[in-house]
Amino acid sequence: MAADTIFALSSGQPPAAIAIVRISGPKASDALKALSGSVPEERRARLAKLNDPVSGDLLDTALVLWFPGPNSASGEDLAEIHCHGGRAVVRILEKALENMDGLRPAEPGEFTRRAFTHGRMDLAEAEGLSDLLFAETELQRRSAVQAAGGALSRKVEDWQSAILRLSAMVEAELDFSDEDDVTPAQLSVVHSAAAELAKEMKNMLDRPRAEKLREGVRVVLGGPPNSGKSTLLNALVEREAAIVSSIAGTTRDVIEVPIAIKGIPFLFIDTAGVRDEGAEEIERIGIDRARQQFDLADLILWLGREGEGPHNANMVEIASRQDHPDYLPKSSDTLSVSPITGDGMDALVTLLVDRAKKIVPRGDEISVNKRQAHHLNDAQQNLDAISGLQDYLIIAEQLRLARSALDALTGRASTEDMLDSLFGKFCIGK
């Protein structure tokens, strides 16, 4: 258990109707008793007058709750004070807590980190909670709720149990094969079971990564100067996000606009007009950055001449400016749009959503992030390697390595730097 006791505002910033202040640590009960006179019955709210322990002044009337560890959100003794949400009330309450011996304000993510340390959640669940805190779309929320609720952790636990059973079979063959009451493990059984587990892991690895839901589908608008990129961007995001002008080279830098369409997060990126001649120095820098964006794009909308766009499998030819005198039609199967009149825009949005659904994870299935995928890939490769092995000692080692990789995925084997990076992104009261 941590030696110090922490406190923080865990609800939204005041002013608000109600503010929730949490206290976690060995002196949580002392702090609650000093403010309200006594500790209430566990897990039952009680109305109490809060008084300054030093001056005796009335601070507020609030609901107080008591959650003894280890069965609390943080895994240690925890108190909650539900007070009025005015700035002055919260400020004076925090000041009274800070003046108590052994109490200090919490650091960002420290409540959740203590929950992780005390086994109340694993690392995969903590990462899901982080995604939930930053979720802005329904799809993001659904995916994050699954992860925070332990969907991935339960799947990993199933895999761990299956690998442990295989390890027991192999160890029995190694250590007790001469005893009549032990059934020797058959290589074909071990090979088959390991291959099936590896296949399940591979199927999960083949799904879109969880980061794409947080970052959004990167849609880059490309084309030569005056091809209608900025006009199309403004029409897609339904606001004046980019300057529109007939002067070539108006857009000189990358413009990024995040937006959700039908619940799917997108990041639309307007770029400088791409041309080989006539660009001055600053414009050439913008053109270089545009080409870099083409390499990073999930989807490129090319508004230039047909066939002149970047050689990218994710490129879609768009015949823009349908209403313009200089309109250049493309192939019959190319989407033709006019951001000014709105012709073809619904079809373009449908195309974007359909393509995005193949790039982002589904909200009802488990997906992994880059860190989790790294460890899951290690486990999958260790299990795959068993298929051609005949030596039980080497098989046992591959199974051990697979278990170790899954331990790292859930945080049972981790480094302080990685934990600092994750929990540091949380808000103070988490």
pLDDT value at residue 245: 42
pLDDT value at residue 243: 45
Q: Identify whether the C-beta of residue 341 lies closer than 8 Å to the C-beta of residue 359.
A: no
pLDDT value at residue 283: 66
Question: Would you say residue 97 has pLDDT above 50?
Answer: yes
Name beta bridge partners: 219: 268, 299
Q: What angle (nearest 5°) sits at the alpha carbon of residue 110, between those of residues 148 and 64?
A: 90
Q: Identify whether the C-beta of residue 269 lies closer than 8 Å to the C-beta of residue 221.
A: yes
- Give me the mean pLDDT over the 204-216 stretch: 90
Phi, psi torsion values for 322, nearest 5 degrees: -55, -30
pLDDT value at residue 182: 45
Question: Would you say residue 1 has pLDDT above 50?
Answer: no
Phi-psi region of 2 (alpha: psi -120 to 50; beta: other; left: phi over 0): beta
Q: Identify whether the C-beta of residue 342 lies closer than 8 Å to the C-beta of residue 375.
A: no
What confidence tens digit (pLDDT) does each residue in 320-379 have?
Answer: 877 777 777 788 778 888 888 889 899 999 999 999 999 999 877 899 999 999 999 999
Question: pLDDT tier at 202 (50, 70, 90 boundaries)?
Answer: very high
pLDDT value at residue 248: 47
pLDDT value at residue 418: 44
Q: What is the DSSP string of 113-146?
A: HHHHHTTSS-HHHHHHHHHHHH--SHHHHHHHHH
- Give me the mean pLDDT over the 29-41 stretch: 96
**How far apart are the C-alpha atoms of 249 and 278, rounded to whole Å?**
10
**How far apart are the C-alpha atoms of 280 and 283, rounded to whole Å?**
5
Question: pLDDT tier at 249 (50, 70, 90 boundaries)?
Answer: very low
User: Is the pLDDT higher at 174 or at 275?
Assistant: 174
Q: Percent of the chain at pLDDT above 90?
A: 50
Report the run of H or E that residue 318 belongs to, with start and end: strand 315-319
Q: Is 220 exposed, middle or buried (0-12, 13-18, 19+ CB in 10 A)?
A: buried
Question: pLDDT tier at 404 (50, 70, 90 boundaries)?
Answer: very high
- What is the CB-side half-sphere exposure of residue 74 using CA atoms within 13 A? 28
**b/e 64-81 (16+ beta carbons within 10 angstroms → b):** bbbbebeebbbbbbbbbb
Question: pLDDT tier at 26 (50, 70, 90 boundaries)?
Answer: very high
Name beta bridge partners: 9: 21
pLDDT value at residue 379: 97
DSSP state of 324: S
pLDDT value at residue 280: 64
**How far apart are the C-alpha atoms of 323 and 354, rounded to whole Å?**
26
- Give me the mean pLDDT over the 160-164 stretch: 93
Question: pLDDT tier at 171 (50, 70, 90 boundaries)?
Answer: confident
- Give me the mean pLDDT over the 240-258 stretch: 59
- Give me the mean pLDDT over the 241-259 stretch: 61
| pTM for the whole structure | 0.72
If you average pLDDT over every residue of the chain, what do you get?
A: 86
209-218, 323-332, 381-390: range with lowest mean pLDDT: 323-332
3-state secondary structure of 337: coil
* Pairing, β 78-85 against β 58-67: antiparallel
67-76, 145-154, 178-187, 392-401: range with lowest mean pLDDT: 178-187
Question: pLDDT tier at 246 (50, 70, 90 boundaries)?
Answer: very low
Question: Would you say residue 172 has pLDDT above 50?
Answer: yes
pLDDT value at residue 159: 96
Question: Would you say residue 176 has pLDDT above 90?
Answer: no
